[in-house]
Amino acid sequence: MAEEFFHESHWIWDDEEIHPRNGWFMFRRYFTVSHEELKNATLTICADSRYVAWLNGTRLGQGPIRSWPDQLYPDTYRLDGAGQSGENLLEVLVDHYGLGTCSYIEAPAGLIAEITLDDGSGHIRKIGTDDTWQVAAHPGYVKTVPKMANGLSWA
């Protein structure tokens, strides 16, 4: 399970339904980092169904790889290339399918992420997904569109 990779995090979602059909949600978290912490900063992340992550507007990556609902694999990204000393903004767009497809087994919607900041002198700070994250349905996507076939995405 993805949870074994996280220490200060738990699965989060908005207050709406846990299985939204064609749900697109944006998650945001501001955090402050020192120059020393930034040298060894990483993001470990996983979502159901798919995600794209940005730090300060720079795309970090997307995922997760295909896997079983009870064996999701997180991705890890270095943050030193997109991060800056001071305030940073992590944004994650999560697309939850809301039904099974030829390549996806339906599971509850969610995001789990953890920022690890290491100052190099033995002090490690972790910022995980919790109720301080901002989340909202993304206004740029329409949920009520047709699905042409089980193996295809929403229109």
d(CA 13, CA 16): 8
Cβ atoms of residues 48 and 101 within 8 Å:
no
Domains of the chain: 2-137 (2.60.120.260)
Cβ atoms of residues 3 and 123 within 8 Å:
no
Report CA-CA distances (Å) from 131 to 62, 72, 78, 80. Answer: 23, 22, 24, 26
d(CA 3, CA 116): 15
What is the DSSP code (8-state) at residue 80?
T
Number of other residues whose CB lies within 10 A of the CB of residue 62: 15
State yes or no: pLDDT of 100 exceeds 90: no
d(CA 133, CA 142): 23
- Which has more pLDDT, 38 or 99? 38
**pLDDT tens digit sequence for 27-73:** 999 999 999 999 999 999 999 989 999 999 999 999 998 888 888 89
